[in-house]
Amino acid sequence: MFLVGLPLAFMSIGACSNQPSGPPFTFASGGNAALGSGGSYNGAGGFTGTGSGGVGNPNSGGSSSGGGPATSGGGPGSGGAEPCEDLAPPYDPEWPEATCESWANEASACVEDWFKDYCDITCGRCVPSTNEGTGGSPPEVCEDLAPPYDPEWPEATCESWAIEAEACGEEWFSNYCDISCGRCVPEDGSGGPPMPPDCSGENLPNVSGGDGFTTRYWDCCQPHCGQFDGHKCNRDGTTRTGDNTSACSGGGAFACYDEAPREVSKCLSYGHIAKSNPNCGQCYRIQFTGQGNSNANDIGSKLIQGKQMIVKVTNTGSDVAGNQFDLMIPGGGVGQFDACSNQWNQSSLGERYGGFLSSCKTGTHADKKECVRKECMKIPSGSARDGCIWFVDWFEIADNPKFTSQQTNCPF
């Protein structure tokens, strides 16, 4: 067999969408993306710059089709009342040979709003109770049969092949990973490719311009802006301190735990960032594009597509790129400076650049999330640990996701 370009999973440093209204839709392509972060912060510790990196995955774009739990004999929640069929979308003169399977696997249209009334079976939204309307008998066995072991990508799962390598549309892959590719849904409705949330009901403004990407860090040091606004805390991370010397320089001023990110709604969160030439206290609204910076097809980045954050500038980084926001996320990596080992009495904090996620490299996306969740338990309970769990549940362990941004008023 021949292989599509193989993704190599490299670690991050540091950190529902407005998609086209009609067919077909694919994510923007890209080339090999080198991860750029590392370095140090001015006066406050941290990292970002060129300290770590790697070659991105094949970046041809597209997210896998699929859907939520299916009800046998009908659409989701229909109890069999609605027909379960592959209703083809309107004829497209630019793609006359397209079938439901083509739209689902090649154009990844199942996640598009305009496509919600079409190709229910192929998109995994329902499972027919009989063979009627299926265009033929369904597969006798519905399973994720993994392709042959590849020594160049030993950790690859069906989910990885389907989403990161986009192999579902390849001829050699037609007999593998049926569930992850959305070709079938088990009788219990489980499985299928993960999908980003629908954010249309939250009335969030569309964010345009200001293309950039996030990294992540939490070094427990006093943030740079704390020298001016007094937002710095004692060792407990909650009570304010008048100490003017950062814990990363031997003093008693630490980052405050309330600077950890927190969820406002399914599609909106608040957080704090470091950036180059910091305008301390300025806030930005960012909207995630569905692509990763170091791996365009990063699963987590696709799953937060369209989600937004409002972030406040609290720190600086001497090597932070002009279009880079370094999110303060507990467990996200201490970087060049480390006051966390001292503050938390904990030496096992993952890789210096990458944090807990760097220790959770194998298994499915869900496996990696649960691995990071367990690592979060090393952080003291309260806002800091909650911020680490936020990275798992709301941020979908996205690895350096891209965004668009614009300045906004600070709501916090």
> What pLDDT is stored for residue 129 in this prediction?
56
Is there a single domain that holds both residue 154 and residue 251?
no
Q: Give the separation between CA 56 and CA 36, rounded to whole angstroms.
A: 11
Last-in-domain residue among 195, 227, 253: 195
Is there a single domain that holds both residue 89 and residue 211?
no
> What pLDDT is stored for residue 110 in this prediction?
87
> What pLDDT is stored for residue 28 in this prediction?
32
Domain that holds residue 102: 64-195
Is there a single domain that holds both residue 95 and residue 113?
yes
Which CATH number does the domain housing residue 367 bear?
A: 2.40.40.10
| Residue 347 forms part of a structural domain | yes
| Residue 213 forms part of a structural domain | yes
Is there a single domain that holds both residue 179 and residue 146?
yes
Is there a single domain that holds both residue 369 and residue 238?
yes
Helix 383-393, helix 365-376: angle, nearest 10: 180
| Residue 223 forms part of a structural domain | yes
- Which residues participate in catalysis according to the annotation? 219, 326
Is there a single domain that holds both residue 84 and residue 103?
yes
Count: domains in the chain: 2
> What pLDDT is stored for residue 111 in this prediction?
82
Is there a single domain that holds both residue 242 and residue 288?
yes
> What pLDDT is stored for residue 76 in this prediction?
37
Is there a single domain that holds both residue 299 and residue 327?
yes
| Residue 212 forms part of a structural domain | yes
Last-in-domain residue among 148, 168, 195: 195
Residue at token pair 């060129």: 50
Is there a single domain that holds both residue 155 and residue 271?
no
CB 108 within 8 A of CB 26: yes
Q: CB-based contacts of 145: which residues, under 8 Å, 6+ apart? A: 158, 175, 176, 177, 178
- Bridge partners, residue 131, by sequence: none
All residue ranges of the chain with pLDDT < 70 are 1-83, 128-140, 191-192
Q: Give the separation between CA 184 and CA 127, rounded to whole angstroms.
A: 8
Last-in-domain residue among 195, 223, 254: 195
DSSP string of 94-153, one letter each residue = TSTT--HHHHHHTS-GGGSGGGTTS-TTTTTS-B-SSSTTTTSPPPSS----PPPP-TTS
- Beta-sheet strands, E only, within 236-295: 262-265, 268-275, 283-292
| Residue 7 forms part of a structural domain | no
Is there a single domain that holds both residue 212 and residue 169?
no
Q: CB-based contacts of 399: which residues, under 8 Å, 6+ apart? A: 11, 12, 292, 294, 295, 298, 300, 301, 357
Residue at token pair 């309307």: 133
| Residue 8 forms part of a structural domain | no
Residue at token pair 């998609």: 19
> What pLDDT is stored for residue 82 in this prediction?
55
| Residue 53 forms part of a structural domain | no
Q: Give the separation between CA 110 and CA 117, rounded to whole angstroms.
A: 10
Q: Give the separation between CA 266 and CA 199, rounded to whole angstroms.
A: 8
Is there a single domain that holds both residue 188 and residue 204?
no
Q: In whole numbers, what is the pLDDT of the chain averaged over residues?
A: 79
pTM beyond 0.85, yes or no: no
Q: How many CB atoms lie within 10 A of CB 91?
A: 8
Could you report the per-residue pLDDT of 279-316, keeping only the tens digit for each? 999 999 999 999 999 899 999 999 999 999 999 999 98
For the CA atoms of 143, 147, 151, 152, the dihedral, rounded to the nearest 10 degrees, stands at: -100
> What pLDDT is stored for residue 162 in this prediction?
92
Is there a single domain that holds both residue 215 and residue 186?
no
